[in-house]
Chains A and B, each alone.
Chain A
Amino acid sequence: MASICSVLPALLCKFPAIDESTIRLARKAVDDSFKGFVRSYGNAIDTVVQPLQWFLNYLESLFVGSPWIVILAAMVAVVYFGSRNIGITIGTALSMIAIGLVGLWNDTMVTLAMVTVCTLISILVGIPIGIVMARSDRVQAFINPILDVMQTMPSFVYLIPVVMIFGIGKVPGLIAVVIYAVPPMIRLTNLGIRLVDKEVLEAADAFGSSTWQKLKNVQMPLALPTIMAGINQTIMMSLAMVVVASMIGVGGLGKNVLQAIANQFFTVGFLNGFALVGIAIIFDRTSQAFGKRLQKHSEVIHG
Chain B
Amino acid sequence: MASHAIEVKNLYKIFGPRGADFVDAVKKGMGKAELNEQHGHVLGLQDINISMPAGGVMVVMGLSGSGKSTLIRHINRLIDPTSGEVLYDGVDVCKMSDADLREFRRHKTAMVFQKFALLPHRTVLDNTVYGLEIQGVERKESEKRARGWIERVGLKGFENHYPNQLSGGMQQRVGLARALTNDADILLMDEAYSALDPLIRVDMQTVLLDLQKELKKTVVFITHDLDEALRLGDKIAILRDGRVVQQGTGQEIVLSPADDYITAFVKEVNRGRVINVETIMRPLSGNAEGVPLVTGTVLESAARTMTAARVATAHVVDVNGRPIGALDLSAIIAAMVTPVSHEDRVAA
Enumerate chain A residues within 8 angstroms of B168, measured Cβ to Cβ: 303
Enumerate chain A residues within 8 angstroms of B121, measured Cβ to Cβ: 221-222, 224, 297
Enumerate chain B residues within 8 angstroms of A303, measured Cβ to Cβ: 164-168
Interface stretch of the complex, out of B54-62, B98-106, B207-215, B289-297: B98-106
CA distance A2 to B119 in the complex (A): 72
CA distance A128 to B290 in the complex (A): 78
A1 touches B (CB below 8 Å): no
B162 touches A (CB below 8 Å): yes
Enumerate chain A residues within 8 angstroms of B76, measured Cβ to Cβ: 206
Enumerate chain B residues within 8 angstroms of A210, measured Cβ to Cβ: 102, 134
B30 touches A (CB below 8 Å): no
A154 touches B (CB below 8 Å): no
A217 touches B (CB below 8 Å): yes
Enumerate chain A residues within 8 angstroms of B113, measured Cβ to Cβ: 199, 202-203
Residue pair A222, B120 in contact (C-beta under 8 Å): yes
Q: What is the 8 Å Cβ interface bit string for chain A, positions 178-220, against chain B (1 contact, 0 not)?
A: 0000000000000000000101101101111110010001100
CA distance A219 to B121 in the complex (A): 11
Enumerate chain B residues within 8 angstroms of A209, measured Cβ to Cβ: 134
Q: What is the 8 Å Cβ interface bit string for chain A, positions 26-69, against chain B (1 contact, 0 not)?
A: 00000000000000000000000000000000000000000000
B257 touches A (CB below 8 Å): no
Enumerate chain B residues within 8 angstroms of A197, measured Cβ to Cβ: 117
Which B residues between 193 and 212 are near A, CB-CB below 8 angstroms?
none
CB contact between B162 and one of A199, A207, A208, A297 (< 8 Å): that residue: A297
Quick one: closest B residue to A303, CB to CB? B167
Quick one: closest A residue to B132, CB to CB? A207
Enumerate chain A residues within 8 angstroms of B105, measured Cβ to Cβ: 205-208
A300 touches B (CB below 8 Å): yes
CA distance A211 to B168 in the complex (A): 29
Enumerate chain A residues within 8 angstroms of B149, measured Cβ to Cβ: none
B337 touches A (CB below 8 Å): no
B182 touches A (CB below 8 Å): yes
Q: How many residues of A contact B (CB 8 A)?
A: 24
CA distance A147 to B107 in the complex (A): 43
Residue pair A207, B119 in contact (C-beta under 8 Å): no
Residue pair B131, A300 in contact (C-beta under 8 Å): no
A301 touches B (CB below 8 Å): yes
B130 touches A (CB below 8 Å): yes
Enumerate chain A residues within 8 angstroms of B164, measured Cβ to Cβ: 297-301, 303
CA distance A299 to B120 in the complex (A): 10
B302 touches A (CB below 8 Å): no
How close is B153's CB to chain A, nearest CB, in angstroms?
17
Residue pair A202, B78 in contact (C-beta under 8 Å): yes
A138 touches B (CB below 8 Å): no
**Residue among A208, A297, A299 with max Cβ neighbours from chain B (10 Å):** A208
CA distance A155 to B229 in the complex (A): 65
Residue pair A207, B182 in contact (C-beta under 8 Å): yes
Residue pair B78, A206 in contact (C-beta under 8 Å): yes
Residue pair B130, A207 in contact (C-beta under 8 Å): yes
- Decide yes or no: A200 and B167 within 8 Å by CB, A210-B102, A297-B162 being known contacts: no
CA distance A197 to B110 in the complex (A): 19
CA distance A206 to B184 in the complex (A): 12
CA distance A210 to B119 in the complex (A): 16
A302 touches B (CB below 8 Å): yes
Which B residues between 239 and 296 are near A, CB-CB below 8 angstroms?
none
- Residues of A at the B interface (CB closer than 8 Å) are 197, 199-200, 202-203, 205-210, 213, 217-218, 221-222, 224, 297-303
- Residues of B at the A interface (CB closer than 8 Å) are 76, 78, 101-107, 109-111, 113, 115, 117-123, 130-131, 133-135, 162, 164-168, 182, 188
Question: Could you show 14 A-B contacts with beta carbons less than 8 Å apart?
Answer: A197-B117, A203-B117, A203-B118, A206-B105, A206-B188, A208-B131, A217-B133, A224-B121, A297-B123, A297-B164, A298-B162, A298-B164, A301-B165, A303-B164
